A = this chain, B = another copy of it.
Amino acid sequence: MIEPAYHDFYAGRRVLITGGLGFIGSNLAHRLVSLNARVLLVDSLVPDYGGNPFNVQDIRDAVTINVADIRDQHAMRYLVQGQDIIFNLAGQISHIDSMRDPYTDLEINCRSQLSLLEACRHNNPEAKIIYASTRQVYGKPRYLPVDEEHLAWPTDVNGINKLAGERYHLVYSQVYGLQATSLRLTNTYGPRQLLCHNRQGFIGWFIRQAIDGEEIQLFGDGRQVRDLTYVDDVVEAFLLAGFSDQVNGQIFNLGGLQPISLRDLVELLLKTVGAGSYRLVPFPDEKRAIDIGDFYANYDRIRRVLGWEPRVGIEEGLARTVEFYRAHRQHYWSRCINPLEVP
| B160 near A289: Cβ-Cβ < 8 Å | no
Closest approach, in angstroms, between the C-beta of A234 and any C-beta of chain B?
A: 25
Closest approach, in angstroms, between the C-beta of A115 and any C-beta of chain B?
A: 8
Residues of the B chain whose Cβ atoms lie less than 8 Å from the Cβ of A155: 171, 174-175
Report how far A118 CA is from B157 CA in the complex, Å. Answer: 12
Closest approach, in angstroms, between the C-beta of A90 and any C-beta of chain B?
A: 17
| A167 near B171: Cβ-Cβ < 8 Å | no
Range of interface residues on A (Cβ < 8 Å): 20 to 34
Closest approach, in angstroms, between the C-beta of A143 and any C-beta of chain B?
A: 12
Q: Interface on A for B, CB 8 Å cutoff?
A: 99, 102-103, 106, 110-111, 114, 118, 149, 151-157, 160-161, 163-164, 167-168, 171, 174-175, 289-290
Question: Quick one: given A156-B175, A171-B154, are A111 and B103 in contact (CB under 8 Å)?
Answer: yes
| B102 near A175: Cβ-Cβ < 8 Å | no
Q: Name A148's closest neighbour in chain B (CB-CB).
A: B151
New A-B pairs, 9, CB < 8 Å, besides A155-B171, A160-B171: A102-B118, A103-B114, A106-B106, A110-B110, A155-B174, A155-B175, A161-B164, A163-B164, A175-B290
Closest approach, in angstroms, between the C-beta of A92 and any C-beta of chain B?
A: 14
| A111 near B106: Cβ-Cβ < 8 Å | yes
Residues of the B chain whose Cβ atoms lie less than 8 Å from the Cβ of A161: 164
| B168 near A160: Cβ-Cβ < 8 Å | yes
Which one, B118, B163, B171, B290, contacts A156 given CB within 8 A?
A: B171
